[in-house]
A and B are shown apart, each in its own frame.
Chain A
Amino acid sequence: MEKLKIQQDFLEIKCKNFDNQYISPRRSEGKPDYQVYAFYTSCSLRVYFMFDELNIPYQDCPINIRLGEHYKGEFAEITPNNKIPMLVDNTLLKDNGEPDEPLRIFESGAILLYLAEKYPESSLLPPISKPRERSETTQWLIWQVSEMGPCISQYVYYFFYASEPIPFGMKKAQKDVMDILNVLNKRLEGREYLCNKYSIADIALFGWGCFLYFGIIPELNQFTNITRWMNTMIQKPTYQKFLPRIEHSLKIRNLKRLDNNEYLFNK
């Protein structure tokens, strides 16, 4: 009963708020250009943000991982990794102009790179012809998916999701998170964005950034460059649009900290 309710709430957020971009899965004229298999997770949100920034329509295919949908049905058949997000691009054509097989990409970092390279006019990733600017952007993108993301997800596991408190796990996660936020805070010193200008590195960062914004790490306010960056980000229409939905998705999860038994949002 409880589970069903969560899914209903979740779908309600989707239908209510995705009115601009939500295309019914049952639309008759064949496949949509893009299908996004995702949920309200940090990695999925990066892809939602990206599509919003590109202003490209897509079919949203919610995969409720809390109900194990990533191991079921159509999604399980087309993914080798059972992880969201996954992007399916149905627009590719063969040399003779016939529609080609759909292109399926998983790993949020790879999806952002793909879309940025496909839509170079978005200027969200410098081209290969500018190796200096480009590699600066890709290294901060990769840093997030390989260092910061895994680090914060460990923290979230040990502080919110573990079936019982594991003190040493919390201690390590706490230290690792403080180290990584220090690196990020230093990087953002004197910079408006992670790299020279707004890029996929910032979009990727806000995937976790939005959860930081809602207080999953209480010490965040010590990191003044990060909070300043966050204030810049939340002014943007994309994030303005998503923040209320993210807040709602967090509220219905009813998260309680395992270190002090406090709820993330006051009940």
Chain B
Amino acid sequence: MTDKDYDFYGYHTSNSWKVDIMLKELSIESFNYTEVDIAAGEQFKPDFLKMNPNNKIPVLVDNTISPPLVLFESATILEYLADKYKKLLPGLDRPRERYEVLKWLTFTVASQGPNMGQLLFWKIHNQEKVPAAIEKSQKEIERIYSVLDGVLKDRSYIAGSELSICDISCYGWGMYLKFGIVVDGWEVKYPNFKRWVDLVETRASFQHAVKLADEAIRNWQASKK
């Protein structure tokens, strides 16, 4: 599939939605989307493993260069596109602003993401309830959102006054708070984070992602009934 500029392999997960938002923010329309059904194990098929030996989505293939460039890890995809289009990430000539974005970007994928994964596993997906494990991951996730709430106290966006790739990355998992399964009373506990959610959701790109997430969660709930 090389008739389009990009091939995007994803599924309805937080990390895929980050790429959905990014493509919309950059007004990239020339891409093929292929759903990789990770619930059915399609990420272990040899053709997919050739692209990402780590058997994870999202994967983005850039067909505008030859040979096509295959990218995995959502943060790498966001950084690559931002540097390529010189948007949503300040350049090397502005190291302070650039690294304000990159450190929070790394925080979202190294702290927020893995801990959200742990929390949902122990709280929701795992049949056997293990109180000590739930408590450990709940405590860490509440710490992480209070860190985000703290940094948003005196700025509109996570890295400052402008929207950047760390906002996009944070929203992938951040929107789960709205679905009521992460932290009870989060709007009151994290008022600055709530204000940030409201702010980014004024953008069509984020609205698109939350619509995809809503659908996915409704389907998942229906499948459990």
Query: Which residues of chain A have a CB within 8 Å of any CB of chain B?
Result: 80-83, 92, 100, 103, 105-107, 109-110, 113-114, 117-118, 128, 131-132, 135, 138-139, 142-143, 145-147, 149-151, 154, 157, 162, 164, 166, 168-169, 172, 183, 186-187
Contacts and interface: CB of A to CB of B under 8 A. Distances in A.
Q: Which 6 pairs from chain A and chain B are nearest by CB?
A: A150-B114, A107-B106, A110-B103, A139-B76, A146-B109, A145-B110
A105 B92 contact: no
Contact of A92 (B65, B95, B106): B95
Given A81-B107, A81-B147, A145-B109, 16 more contacts: A103-B96, A106-B107, A110-B105, A114-B95, A118-B95, A128-B92, A131-B84, A135-B69, A138-B79, A139-B71, A142-B106, A145-B106, A146-B110, A151-B114, A164-B132, A183-B53
Contacts of B106: 107, 109-110, 142, 145
Pick from A109, A132, A142, A145 the residue with the most CB of B within 10 Å.
A142
A110 B102 contact: yes
Nearest to B114: A150
Contacts of B99: 103, 105, 110, 113-114
What DSSP secondary structure best describes chain A's contact surface?
Answer: helix
A146 B107 contact: no
Given A81-B147, A106-B103, A187 B53 contact: yes
A162 B132 contact: yes
Contact of A166 (B114, B126, B132): B132
B63 interface: no
Contacts of A103: 95-96, 99
B54 interface: yes
Contact of B83 (A109, A128, A149): A128
Interface string B58-80: 00000001000101110110011
